[in-house]
Structure 1
Amino acid sequence: MTAAEPEVLSAADRAARFLDLEKAPFTLPGSRILVQRADGGVTMRLAEYERRLDDCVVVRELRVFGADGRLAGLVDVRPERIAFAGGVSLTFDGPDALSIGGNGRWTIELTVPGSAEHPALESGAWTPALPSAPVAGWRTSGADDVLLRDAPDGGTVVRLSLAGDDARVRIALGTPGAPAAAASHSAALAATTRVWHDWFERTPSVRPDLADLTAFCWWVLGANIVTLPGRGDARAVVPSKIGYVGLWQWDAYFIAAGLRHGDPELAREQLALAFGFPTPDGQLPDVVHDEGVLASSDDLPPGDRDNLRRAGSAIADPSAPIPLTKPPLAAWALRALEGLIDDPAWFDEAWQTVARSQEWWFAHSDLDGDGMPEYGHPYSSGLDDSPVFDGELPVASPDLAGYLILQDDLLASHARSVGDAAAAERHARRAERTLALLEDMWDDDAGFFRSRGAGRPLAAETAVSLLPLLTGRLPGRIVSRMLEALDDPDRFATQWAVPTVAARDAEFSAERMWRGPVWVNVNALIAEGLAVSGYAERSRELVEATLALVQHAGGPHEYFNPLTGEKARTATTSFGWSAALYIDLAVRASG
């Protein structure tokens, strides 16, 4: 045993406390397979781009029975295995297969799609007909009886009786006759344990009171790794295998911020994917996924376009495709990796990509020609359901202005560092112009930056009015008013802050996405803005409050109710950027 192993094992033990097979499914880095609780057993689904989990079932129900014929319930879950009563366990056998094994006599029942009369089922194969699993199958060692029968509600129950030492059933995606990745169940379990051991070995070090959830958040990042076959099997840390299976540009930036503390190379891979597919004019795509990219309304899945057409949305008009991207935090994310990766050529190319993207915003997204770029559609803001989009498009929003100022400042700094004085001056001048336009959006009577829809000021007071703090360049009188808003219980000082819409606003909803719930990324950006604006203690307070919120809610959910501090009802769990930013904030708070 090496000196590092006790800490590695401790991280796995800490993460195991959160693995409930509901909010946190059983999975493996790089695998599409998800195992979750089902009636008396578990179910096996696949994570697919733009498909609901209920439409991605490979095994509807997997149940284990002991030698006495009684159902063997789940007794323990760890990152590397699920244990059933009687000594049977389930683990991975490589990213595309599960292994279920044990000693003595036991039985497993699988409910799978297809009729019991289908010839393929008799040979151990069936057809989930999913992109990642057009076919699936089982193989056994130690089976002395196989029984097929029709399930009452459709599909087939496959009953396999096993006996002997290390008997097992292997459920694999692909050709069922392919050789097993491991020679036995115990070998598969050992290999899966090594995968998680290597991952947990990188868990960032934090304060003792933050260690449990940091370990779980590190598990979340590992669990959310998928490979993208259409991208050379690149590793993407997706927002969630439960519903968000692709690399969203904005998510990649926040996820990289957390990954850099334990796996800077994987963090770099996220930016490389986000930067790898710009349009000819420099626009970065919203999403990189298995089948391509999502860079305009033409790239939306057909079902999304049909829904939007029914709603009368211009984004679904095939004659007028709308670019889809995400807010310009590319330079912010790239700066965070400098000094952690020794690859000057890659950084040079990445900075050039960021510079072209910045030019795209001013050349192609200043839709009214006033010098201030706008969001052409809510999808490009990352804040899809925010009330700032209740009015007409395009929307000039103070958060976008703040991001653009910050990005031009960072590009100017980089240009100076490589001796490009002309580029540095160009970026610096534009940042000053954008700052002046941002200050014109300040409504002194209301005490916040107003967004504008199609040129008209909007009534909604939202957290986007606080994000220009990131520039570190706002006049003191404006910063003071923003601090007042953060301290006002009728605005942003809810019991669990910071709500994404002011509590006094008519559009405030504690549960509705982007209309009130707290998001970890917004809090993290505001905390950084407070720090660079000269309010280090206020920044630390918000960091600690955000860490306490995630702990109170029991994990890194997508968004949180600002009144109760609990997961909002419709929020996704084990959410990538919440996990990554919890780690980032925990490391900062532990320094």
Structure 2
Amino acid sequence: MTVETGAEPSAADRAARFLDLENAPFTLPGSRILVQRADGGVTVRLAEYERRLDECVVVRTLRVFGADGRLAELRDVRPERLEFSGGVTLTFDGPEAISVGGAGRFTVELAVPGALDSSAAAFGTWSPGLPSAATAVWNADGVEDVQVTEAGSDTVVRLTVAGAAGQVRIGLGEPVDTGMLTHSAALAATDDIWAEWFARCPGVRPDLADLTAFCWWVLGANIVTLPGRGNARAVVPSKIGYVGLWQWDAYFIAAGLRHGDPNLAREQLSLAFGFPTADGQLPDVVHDEGVLASSDDLPPGDRENLRRAGSAIADPTAAIPLTKPPLAAWALRSLEGLIDDPAWFDDAWATVARSQEWWFAHSDLDGDGMPEYGHPYSSGLDDSPVFDGDLPVASPDLAAYLIVQDDLLAAHARSVGDTDAADRYARRADNTLALLEEMWDDAASFFRSRGAGHPLAAETAVSLLPLLTGRLPGRIVSRMLEALDDPDRFATPWAVPTVATRDADFSAERMWRGPVWVNINALLVEGLAVSGQPVRSRRLLESTLRLVAHGGGPHEYFNPLTGEKAASATTSFGWSAALYVDLAVRASR
């Protein structure tokens, strides 16, 4: 995969420029294993649902020493391998193992947590005690020497191997007695996996090609298999901290995947749509151990914290449904024409329709015709100031999503000849639009959320998302454009902040209280376009692409004043990567 002089860089070469083993770990599509820099070498951890990486250590440190006994430096990082000085490389040997090998004599030092069973010279086992790895093992070929010592609560193993076939394999599960791939075969197999993935990377403008390739790498790197779900492939928000399929994330991730791998995009929607409750509610999260669809699905200690007392309408002692905003039809529409499976689409549209009915039947908690968020988690904007007061919250973004979803359901019903259903969806969309317009505060010049029926002071990006309907009166659209142009509101140096700067709760760094999120920008790009503002839409599209480049990659969220990654934001974030790809493709047409 080396590029010849003068040749156009491959997508893999472009992505490699961003691989630093810190913001972007070394991993493999479908694997839970993550390799990152640590103490003169690397550390090996696993990506697990609802566990911090520091709790998921398989090898605390892995260091390589050359034939002269000196520590080998990590010289190069590529999608398919890490290269140390002296010609030693580290690669994957399938999704559950890594292999270290080289042509000469070298030593691999492993510091592993806990005790080690080293009863055989060719292998040793230990117990990380993780859901994906109750047991781990090293195997070695060409062993010259094995030394085992204790170091506090860890065990340190030094394995010296030699010869063309010399290698050390670190895997999950039991020892491999026979059939272990040679290191060169493992390198070739890993190279093939990434080559196949990058072959699907969509083409874009030259100035966007490097970061698009890296974002495509992020999507591949964030693939995990869910054993509890028949080994379905989920593109998780991040192997660094978000290991599961969140409903909202799946929709945004599918928007980017569809440009190179529409079948994988469909798999994300199939998982998101695959586990509705009896009354049609779609779960917040699908994960190995089940789903998160209610506060009762949370650990006991979290349940009491997350049942928000003080609501004048919702019973704070009852189980609270947990879902995500209704963008299901929006996501499903994006795959039409890319997937030739009418039966799948029929089932998917039926699931979306049942989910839409759930919102009106079970989440209109005050019975006024306008559904509310019963819990911040269901909004996707958990920490927004609109949730600082009482629940439930009637929010203009939810109204907008429901209008768009009913409009899309009406269009689908008309396309299959169901005029009665089309008329029903259209009437409901019109009614929701009328209720949304009642939320407009003309004096304050924004759509005002309501908590437990009371107007809320917070001015946030949810007040801008009604643009998505494409059905607002011109006078309101004009006032919203003024808000986007006002430095005291949403015209920050790097827009669009999720809270207006004039709001008392604005923070440039705190999650959903001011930072820029790529998904909100992408929705506003669409909202401006359908609201008759194509030039404004294109301007925001291009500035969002520049923001991700300026910030150093597809982070979870960005400081709107500096354009840099916010301090607490996760890196290599799935929907930021996917939406960058989507916006880059659109910008290149």
Report how far residue 114 of structure 1 moved.
1.9
What SS is found at the alignment partner of 1:109? strand
Matches of 1:8 and 1:334, distance apart in 2: 35
Corresponding residue for residue 575 of structure 1: 573
Corresponding residue for residue 67 of structure 1: 67
Corresponding residue for residue 284 of structure 1: 282
TM-superposition CA deviations, 1:246-300 (whole Å, max 9, x none): 0000000000000000000000000000000000100000000000000000111
Query: Which amino acid counterpart does residue 95 of structure 1 have in structure 2?
Result: P
What SS is found at the alignment partner of 2:214? helix
Return the match for 1:354 from 352, 357, 382. Answer: 352
Query: 1:157-556 to 2 correspondence within 5 Å?
Result: 157-180=156-179, 182=181, 184-305=182-303, 307-308=305-306, 320-556=318-554
Q: Is the 8 A contact 1:9 1:197 kept in 2?
A: no
Report how far residue 177 of structure 1 moved.
3.1
Indicate whether 1:130 and 2:130 are aligned: yes
Matches of 1:318 and 1:461, distance apart in 2: 26
Corresponding residue for residue 150 of structure 2: 150
Matches of 2:558 and 2:368, distance apart in 1: 37
Q: Is the 8 A contact 2:497 2:514 kept in 1?
A: yes
Matches of 1:272 and 1:531, distance apart in 2: 29
Matches of 2:118 and 2:154, distance apart in 1: 11
Corresponding residue for residue 12 of structure 1: 12
Q: Is the 8 A contact 1:298 1:318 kept in 2?
A: no
Report how far residue 34 of structure 1 moved.
0.1
Matches of 2:236 and 2:71, distance apart in 1: 35
Q: Is the 8 A contact 1:8 1:200 kept in 2?
A: no
TM-superposition CA deviations, 1:34-77 (whole Å, max 9, x none): 00000000000000000000000000000000111110010000
What SS is found at the alignment partner of 2:103? strand
Q: Is the 8 A contact 1:111 1:158 kept in 2?
A: yes
Query: Which amino acid counterpart does residue 445 of structure 2 have in structure 1?
Result: G
Report how far residue 306 of structure 1 moved.
5.8
Report how far residue 524 of structure 1 moved.
0.4
Corresponding residue for residue 106 of structure 1: 106
Query: Size of the alignment, in residue pairs?
Result: 584
Q: Is the 8 A contact 1:200 1:218 kept in 2?
A: yes
Matches of 1:7 and 1:52, distance apart in 2: 42
Q: Is the 8 A contact 2:483 2:490 kept in 1?
A: yes
Q: Is the 8 A contact 1:395 1:454 kept in 2?
A: yes
TM-superposition CA deviations, 1:381-429 (whole Å, max 9, x none): 0000000001100000000000000000000000000000000000000
Q: Is the 8 A contact 1:228 1:234 kept in 2?
A: yes
Which deviates more, 8-17 or 248-257? 8-17
Report how far residue 32 of structure 1 moved.
0.1
Report how far residue 103 of structure 1 moved.
1.4
What SS is found at the alignment partner of 1:104? coil
Report how far residue 241 of structure 1 moved.
0.2
What SS is found at the alignment partner of 1:537? helix
Q: Is the 8 A contact 2:488 2:501 kept in 1?
A: yes
Q: 1:135 to 1:178 in 2, by over 3 A?
A: farther
Q: Is the 8 A contact 1:559 1:571 kept in 2?
A: yes
Matches of 1:463 and 1:239, distance apart in 2: 22
TM-superposition CA deviations, 1:186-242 (whole Å, max 9, x none): 000000000000000000110000000000000000000000000000000000000
Q: Is the 8 A contact 1:8 1:197 kept in 2?
A: no
TM-superposition CA deviations, 1:327-358 (whole Å, max 9, x none): 00000000000000000000000000000000
Q: Is the 8 A contact 2:122 2:143 kept in 1?
A: no
Query: 1:24-103 to 2 correspondence within 5 Å?
Result: 24-103=24-103
What SS is found at the alignment partner of 1:268? helix
The Cα RMSD (Å) is 1.9
Q: 1:123 to 1:279 in 2, by over 3 A?
A: same
Query: Which amino acid counterpart does residue 590 of structure 1 have in structure 2?
Result: S
Q: Is the 8 A contact 1:50 1:244 kept in 2?
A: yes
Q: 1:577 to 1:7 in 2, by over 3 A?
A: farther
Q: 1:224 to 1:217 in 2, by over 3 A?
A: same
TM-superposition CA deviations, 1:465-516 (whole Å, max 9, x none): 0000000000000000000000001100000000000011000000000000
Query: Which amino acid counterpart does residue 193 of structure 1 have in structure 2?
Result: D
What SS is found at the alignment partner of 1:324? coil
Matches of 1:507 and 1:120, distance apart in 2: 61
Which deviates more, 294-303 or 535-544? 294-303
The alignment-based identity, stated in percent, is 80
TM-superposition CA deviations, 1:430-465 (whole Å, max 9, x none): 000000000000000000000000000000000000
Which deviates more, 230-239 or 297-306? 297-306
Matches of 1:65 and 1:259, distance apart in 2: 40
Q: 1:102 to 1:312 in 2, by over 3 A?
A: farther
Report how far residue 104 of structure 1 moved.
1.2
Report how far residue 305 of structure 1 moved.
2.7
Unmatched segments (≥5 aa) in structure 1: none
Matches of 2:310 and 2:95, distance apart in 1: 40
Q: Is the 8 A contact 1:492 1:502 kept in 2?
A: yes
